Amino acid sequence: MVNVASGKVERSYALGKKIHGLDIGDDGKTLFVSDQIGNKLIALDPESGATRSIELTPAPYHLGVIRGTGKVYVSSRDKPLIWVVDQKRMVVVNTIALPAGEGHQIALVH
């Protein structure tokens, strides 16, 4: 965690084996991160350091949040799909099949 006023790192977290994507949840504080090698989506509460996670296989990659929907969209590095995960329950509520390749950068609008 970085102190905005001083620019200094005040706290760090060990979250996974190969962290890639990240975004802030609807509550404005939960940090969602993807762990490609660990095959997980991790939700971190930076104030308490508490984490929750869900397995996403294979290779969760980029992710994005559409504010106010309660969902995190996570692409796979190895398959042409996007998982739709409920932020509070940390469960997959849907998947989106892509025509081919991988969901590289994710830009979401509501």
* DSSP designation for 2: B
Closest-CA residue to 63 (of 49, 82, 50, 46): 82
77 assigned to some structural domain: yes
Q: What is the pTM of this model?
A: 0.89
Residue 63: which domain range?
19-97
55 assigned to some structural domain: yes
Q: How many structural domains compose the chain? A: 1
Q: What is the CATH number of the domain that holds 90?
A: 2.40.10.480
Tell me which residue has tokens 């660990």: 38
14 assigned to some structural domain: no
Buried b (16+ CB within 10 A) or exposed e, 63-91: bbbeeeebbbbbbbbebebbbebebeeee
Strand arrangement of the beta sheet that strand 71-76 belongs to: 60-65, 71-76, 81-86, 92-97
Tell me which residue has tokens 């504010």: 67
- pLDDT means per 10 residues in the chain (110 residues)? 86 88 95 96 94 96 94 95 97 95 75
